[in-house]
Homo-oligomer: A and B are copies of this chain.
Amino acid sequence: MTSDNKPLAKDLSHLLSTEAKSRKESNLKAAFVYKADPSIAFLGGGLPLPSFFPFDNVTVDTPKPPFKNTIIADVNSLKEDELTKVHVPKDPSRAGKTDLPLAQTLQYGLSGGAQSLIDFIKEHTTMIHNIPYKNWDICATTGNTNAWDSVLRTFTNPGDSILCEEFSFSSAIECAHGQQIKVIPAKVDLEGLLPDALDEQLNNWVGAKPKLLYTIPTGQNPTGGNMPADRREAVYKVCQKHDILIIEDEPYYFLQMDEFKQDQAARNYEQLEDHDTFLKSLVASYLNFDTDGRVLRLDSYSKVLAPGTRFGWIVAQDTFIERFLRLHEVSIQFPCGFTQSILYGMLSRWGQTGYLDWLINLKKEYSIKRDGAMDAMEKYMPKEIAEWIAPTAGMFFWFQIDGSKHPEFASKFNSDPAKLELYLYEQGVKNKALLIPGQWFRSEDVTEPPQKPLPVTEAEKSLLFFRGTYAAVPTETVDDGVKRFAEVVKREFQL
């Protein structure tokens, strides 16, 4: 796309689904090339006239870069000079270069997204990822849930298998189940996928290999794991060897944080990073290793701006993007026009550097929240039975408890950690603290012959897991929740 010296992606069209292969471009759309010719009386399209749209002059208050100390303030409380005022007119003749006029975004449009906004995102993508092949492209989605659904429709047929982390985003698993896809777990530790175990699993695979690996490499949901770059590279090579696509679902990519410092005095939230330091601190995405064009990156504004923007995008080789466009023409059509006008109005005024400022401030805010959660864990959670690593990305913290240390593990819970896990969850709720039991994220309920179950060590057989979040609630609530849950754990384990 941007660098002419790079090679083209491999032709991986054999991995497309029956559905994706069957889509054609319509004659009707071909006729639309004539719409641009003003000499032709074009009576071809069933569009309403923009003069019939009852909307004009959309304005939105947004904060102004560099945002210092304003990010968690209500925008409404900011002074005039701390605001970036977005104003979007309907009529293109009244629109400036920072505008996507409503007459364009509220009309039927390109399924790929409005060009100016897509160009901004391409420029951003080039800044963040160093994609080693030339013909990558981007198309808009209505968020990563939509993107994942589209990926499954584009690459899998009913009955196919896919791989995912053994604990994974339950909604993504449900989406695959709905499409009659078998979801096979791949072994993880607290940092993420294990390349050697993955290779071993695929070497021993019985029957048709899985089409793709679904993974959340950064701030994994639910484990909070943040895969180091060298592991990502190793996983990429395994997938290359077995001809598997990698779907990196990366809503939390920009919620990366520095390592947790136990010493509160050593923390410095006031000194914000500069752009270069921030960019260098970001872990390499799978895109960076993607010499083949077998990575599809699902990106979204849901976690860094707002979920209700319902705007995301897929980065992949252009031949795949073209198939997504054909699918989206007959499913979502295109993302909401208001969201495209408002997002572009804000981002074009902020500029790429302003958006980086936003992300740097967000990193600070999430670091404060993560630190609060880890302080609570250190303070309350009994280390004799519980283990965790401080997350360096995302919204979640995750800990394991050794069930075998429970005095009635065998007698009351039949040595089944899932039973104890559910019991602790219920006792937690009674004690006014809700954390989610790990079993609700397990993909292995669908492991079935002929594939072998994942290897489990003796120690792992008695482990239970819980997921908490520090994102959705104030730090005091996290402290309360961890404290109350730890009370239950200590009481039940008689500590």
Contact = CB atoms under 8 A, between A and B. Distances in A.
Interface stretch (A45-53, A129-137, A183-191, A227-235): A45-53
Nearest to A144: B333
A329 B178 CA distance: 11
Residue of A331, A436, A480, A481 most packed against chain B (CB within 10 A): A331
Nearest to A25: B174
Interface in A331-348: 331-340, 342, 346
B54 A330 contact: no
B332 A146 contact: yes
A157 to B, nearest CB: 9
Nearest to A429: B34
Given A336-B336, A337-B309, A72 B49 contact: yes
Contact of A346 (B54, B73, B143, B335): B54
Given A75-B54, A90-B75, A309-B337, A49 B332 contact: no
A473 interface: yes
Interface string A47-73: 111111111111111110000000111
Interface string A27-49: 11001001000011111111111
A269 to B, nearest CB: 16
Given A330-B175, A336-B335, A434 B44 contact: yes
Nearest to A148: B330
Interface stretch (A104-112, A241-249, A457-465): A104-112
Residue of A41, A62, A327, A342 most packed against chain B (CB within 10 A): A41
Interface string A463-481: 0000011111100011011
Contacts of A50: 306
A61 B51 contact: no
Interface string A165-190: 00000111011011110000000000
A335 B370 CA distance: 31
A386 to B, nearest CB: 15
A89 interface: yes
A257 interface: no
B480 A41 contact: yes
Q: How large is the interface on A (under 10, 10 to 19, 20 to 34, 35 or more residues)?
A: 35 or more
B107 A436 contact: no
B48 A306 contact: yes
Contact of A333 (B27, B106, B145, B434): B145
A307 interface: yes
A231 B427 CA distance: 62
Nearest to A477: B41
Residue of A26, A53, A63, A358 most packed against chain B (CB within 10 A): A53
Contacts of A27: 170, 440
Interface in A177-218: 177-180
A325 interface: no
16 contacts: A41-B473, A41-B478, A43-B468, A44-B469, A51-B74, A54-B71, A58-B60, A76-B90, A76-B94, A106-B306, A106-B309, A143-B333, A174-B330, A307-B333, A309-B337, A336-B339
Interface of A: 18-19, 22-24, 26-28, 31, 34, 39-63, 71-76, 89-91, 94, 102, 105-109, 142-143, 145-146, 149, 158, 170-172, 174-175, 177-180, 221, 302-303, 305-311, 327, 329-340, 342, 346, 358, 362, 365, 395-396, 429, 432-436, 440, 468-473, 477-478, 480-482, 484
Shortest Cβ-Cβ A-B pairs, 10 listed: A308-B337, A41-B481, A106-B308, A336-B336, A56-B75, A175-B330, A106-B306, A43-B468, A338-B338, A53-B306
